[in-house]
Structures are given as C-alpha cells and as structure tokens.
Amino acid sequence: MFWRSGSQIVAQIVMWGATIIVVRLLDPKDYGLFAMTQVILVLFNFLNGDSFSSSLIQAESVDKKRIAQVFGMLILSNACLAVAQFMAAPLAAAYFRQPIITDMLRTQALLYMATPFISLPSALLARGLDFRKQAAANMAAAFAGAVTALTCAELGFGVWTLVYAPIALFGVRALGLTYAARLLVWPSFNFRGAQHMFRFGGALLICQMLWIIQSQSDIFIAGRVFDPHHLGLYAEALFVTLIFTGKFIPPLNEVAFPAYANLAKEGGHIGTAFITSARLTMFVALPLYLGLAIVAEPMVATLFGDKWLEMAPLVSGLALAMPFFALQILCSPATNALGKPRIYLRSSIGGAIIMPVAFSIGLQWGAQGLVHAWQIAAPLLLIVTLTLTLPEIGADWRKLLTALVPSVIASGAMAAMVYIAARFTGGLPAPTELAILVAFGAACYLGLLWIFSRQTLQQIMDLVFRRKIAVA
C-alpha cells in the first residue's frame, strides 16, 4: 500500500500541478467537449479485457500458457475496440451535436493500443504484491502526461491538450510496466482450457458494464441537454470531488484485491480486514469532503480562477455525497477475492438502476438537480452494497459503525468549527482564506481525535511508520 498509494499521491501532485495551470488556459467549454468523449471511451473500455487480467490475480496458480492466453485476449479485444470507436465516432458527434467529437474520438482510439501492455503487466506485478515497480512506471507516466499537457496548452492547442496528454501518459506507462514485469511471452489466440478465465472475467465484465451505466449516466444524459459550458462546469466539479474516490481508492483496491485473496487462501478473516480498511479510509475521506463542502468557493477561486466560480456550489454539494460513495467502492475487492463476483454483480445492478433514475429525475433542475441526485442516490446505494457484502465476508453493521464513529464525530465537529470560522474570513483574499480554513480544520480534526480517540491516530501512525497494524 505504501508504494501503490505513495506513487499515486506523487503522480497526482504532478498531474494536479499541471492541471491547475492548464485549467486556467482552457475554457469550461473545452472540458465539456472532453467529458462527452469520455462517456464513449468508458463505454468501450469495459470491453478492453482488463477483467480477464484480474483472473490471474485470483487464480490459485498460473503458467505461461495462461498468461499468453490473457495477452492474446487483450490484444484481440482492444484492436476491435479501436476499430469500433473509429467507426462510431460520427454517431457520437451527432448525438452530442458537436462535430469536433468525431476527430477527438478517432485520435483517442490510440489509447487502446497501449492497454494490453498496461493491463497484463499490472496484473502480474499485483499477483506478486510487487507495487514498487508499478510505482516507478506510474510516476514516469504522470510526468510525461504533465509535460505534454503544459506544452500543448501553452502552444494554444485548446481542447486537443486534453486529448494528447492521456495518450502520452498511457504510452509511457505501457513501456514502463512492460519492462518492469519482464513480459516476454507471445500472445496466444487459442483459448482452449481457459474456462476459469472466461467465467471469472466474464462476471467482472458484466459488473464493469453496469458500473459504466452507473458512473457515466449523468454525463450521457446531461450531454444532450446542457451546452458545453455548463456541462464542463458540472464535469469539472465532479472531477474535483472524485479525486479521492476516483484517484486514491482504486489504487488501494488494487492492493486490497490480491491481499484479500492471499488472506483467504491462508484462512484469514477478510471481514476484520475490511472493517480496518474502511476505518482508515473514512479517517481521510470524511474530514476531506466535509471540509471541501465548506471551503469550495475560496478553493475554486484560488486554483481555477474567477471564470470557474460558477462551479463552487456544485463542488460543495457533491462533496457531501462522496463519503458514502467512497465507502461503497471499497466493498468489491473483498467479495471478489473470495471468488464471489456475484455479490459485486448484484450491487452493480443496484447502482445501474438507482443512479440513472436519480439523474433522470434531477436533470429537470439543471446541474444542481444532478448534485441533489448524488446526495440521495449515493447513501441509498451504500446501504444496498453493504447489505449484500457484510454477511458474505463475515462482518456486521455494528462492528463497522463502531469503527467509523470516531471519524464521523470528529469530522462533524470539525466541519461546524470551520463553518463558523468561515464567517470571519470572508473578506480575505481567496488564497489566504483557503489556507487559514484548511489549517484550522486539520488542527481541529486531529486535536479532537487526539483527545477522544487516540487509538485511531495510533493505528494510522503504525501503518505509516511501522508497516504493521492491529486490525479493528
């Protein structure tokens, strides 16, 4: 977790340093157009074969034949996806009523060429819990993406900046991971004897399809109704609030999946490990998001500039829904590691129903309606997911809630204090106000935990400095 999360933090610092500069040079319209292409990319990406790579992590044993079969499946599926996206690009442009989408999607089809050389090495390294080599490749890729983004933005490439930067990032990451894993097998397109791969990967594939419906339905629905400017404001607000859940928790899940799988093979108790994981995640997520809800306006003004101030109320509202979402996406690695992807499937079906229905209703009230949809749907989906997950992994609601109580109480008290303090800092320059409120909030949160729940702080310190913690 140190290497995977640490590299992710460094990579995000690099990427966000570049993003803060780039976002000031581009317009909300550019991000609206980019968000439209992302819906199509995500829609196609669930077929990229990554779920079949995951079968290598969960399997009892693997050999070169199995690795070659997965490699062949990855190459075949991604080549087909590249061709399909190239052909479908004009249809997507017609749906969104934006002709430039055609050229953007056709250029972005290059991303599929790198996927086999990212997915397979990542799975092989994860199986051996070797995240140190992954860290080096990911950081090199982040630097490549950041440099490309800055260069293109300074040269006036506009929306194409957002197209070329991920291509550079994917290319460098593919080269780095392939070298790190010493991937020296020829792909095999003979899939006889790969029934386990297809069963396990197929179940995850369906879950990924349902996840896409859940996670992309807001942009897909709003993209045809909103103009690029307002869609860009909502999409960027969502991106900001998903930084933790979308950028830091997935790497933790990448570590959790093979770790849970190894724990299950050794007869360990996954339920206890899951509760500890939830406790540590909420220790960060709760104060982060409650604080963000309060300081959204000075944060947007400081980092994005005045032309993005319309985004502040959206960030504030979305932040309140994200702790529920963060806890919900922690669940799937535990049940998948037990070889029970049906649990993930059922919760994904719930998400694919709850979220689009909420967005369809909320759309009637514009972007704020989508925010309110998140605030209602995210807690509901969490309840459904935990109800399905906890009994299967040997955990219960009482233990989970008991583990979360210290962070919930401390975060709520901290948020109240920061809200009151914000009444006195409103006249200060935005950067000064942001710095004061963030520092004050952090001091309040840590101080409250130190007084009322030192065990929580001790567990975090043990994780960071000793690499060994006592489970909850």
Residue range 357-370: average pLDDT?
Answer: 91
Instruction: Please tell me the predicted confidence (pLDDT) of residue 5.
Output: 55
Q: Which strand (E) or helix (H) includes residue 26?
A: none
Instruction: Please tell me the predicted confidence (pLDDT) of residue 205.
Output: 66
pTM of the entire structure? 0.69
Residue range 56-83: average pLDDT?
Answer: 75
Instruction: Please tell me the predicted confidence (pLDDT) of residue 257.
Output: 63
| Residues 5-38 pLDDT 10s | 555 566 666 666 777 778 777 888 888 888 889 8
Q: Which amino acid is at 385?
A: T
| Residues 365-378 pLDDT 10s | 888 999 999 999 99
| Residues 267-292 pLDDT 10s | 667 788 888 888 888 888 999 999 99
Instruction: Please tell me the predicted confidence (pLDDT) of residue 469.
Output: 45
pLDDT of 126 higher than 70:
no
Instruction: Please tell me the predicted confidence (pLDDT) of residue 189.
Output: 66
Q: Which single residue is written with the structure tokens 């020296």? A: 184
Assign 470 a pLDDT band (cuts: 50, 70, 90). very low
Cα–Cα distance measured from residue 110 to residue 104, given in angstroms and rounded to the nearest whole number: 11
Identify the CA nearest to 194 among candidates 314, 104, 74: 74
CB–CB of 241/318 below 8 Å? yes
pLDDT of 395 higher than 80:
yes
Residue 116: how many CA atoms within 13 Å on its side-chain side?
22
CB-based contacts of 361: which residues, under 8 Å, 6+ apart? 369, 373
Identify the CA nearest to 463 among candidates 207, 141, 360, 471: 471
Handedness of CA 35, 36, 38, 42 (dihedral sign): positive
* Averaged pLDDT score across all residues of the chain: 82
Long-range contacts of range 433-442, CB-CB < 8 Å, 24 or more positions apart?
A: 433/295, 433/298, 434/295, 434/298, 434/299, 434/302, 437/291, 437/294, 437/295, 437/298, 438/291, 438/295, 441/287, 441/291, 441/294, 441/295, 441/414, 441/415, 441/417, 442/287
Assign 394 a pLDDT band (cuts: 50, 70, 90). confident
Handedness of CA 84, 88, 89, 92 (dihedral sign): negative
Of the two residues 464 and 349, the one the predictor is more confident about is 349
Instruction: Please tell me the predicted confidence (pLDDT) of residue 295.
Output: 94
Buried b (16+ CB within 10 A) or exposed e, 294-305: bbbbbbbbbbbe
Assign 59 a pLDDT band (cuts: 50, 70, 90). low
- Indicate the SS3 state at residue 157: coil
Task: Give domain limits for the chain.
Answer: 1-193, 197-472
Cα–Cα distance measured from residue 165 to residue 142, given in angstroms and rounded to the nearest whole number: 10
CB–CB of 446/411 below 8 Å? no
Instruction: Please tell me the predicted confidence (pLDDT) of residue 202.
Output: 60
pLDDT of 44 higher than 70:
yes
| Residues 207-259 pLDDT 10s | 677 777 777 788 888 888 888 888 888 988 998 898 777 666 766 666 666 67
Cα-based torsion angle of the residue sequence 13, 15, 17, 19 in order, rounded to the nearest 10 degrees: -140
Instruction: Please tell me the predicted confidence (pLDDT) of residue 418.
Output: 94
CB-based contacts of 72: which residues, under 8 Å, 6+ apart? 187, 188, 189, 190, 191
Residue range 49-64: average pLDDT?
Answer: 60
| Residues 153-171 pLDDT 10s | 888 898 899 999 999 999 9
H-type helices in 26-63, by residue range? 28-45, 50-58
Of the two residues 13 and 81, the one the predictor is more confident about is 81
Instruction: Please tell me the predicted confidence (pLDDT) of residue 471.
Output: 43
Instruction: Please tell me the predicted confidence (pLDDT) of residue 75.
Output: 85
DSSP string, 205-259: HHHHHHHHHHHHHHHHHHHTTS-HHHHHHHHHHHHHHTIIIIIIHHHHHHHHHHH
Of the candidate ranges 117-121, 125-129, 304-308, the one whose mean pLDDT is the lowest? 125-129
Instruction: Please tell me the predicted confidence (pLDDT) of residue 290.
Output: 94
Instruction: Please tell me the predicted confidence (pLDDT) of residue 23.
Output: 78
pLDDT of 194 higher than 60:
no
| Residues 299-339 pLDDT 10s | 999 988 888 889 999 999 999 999 999 898 888 888 877 77
Of the candidate ranges 89-98, 173-182, 260-269, the one whose mean pLDDT is the lowest? 260-269
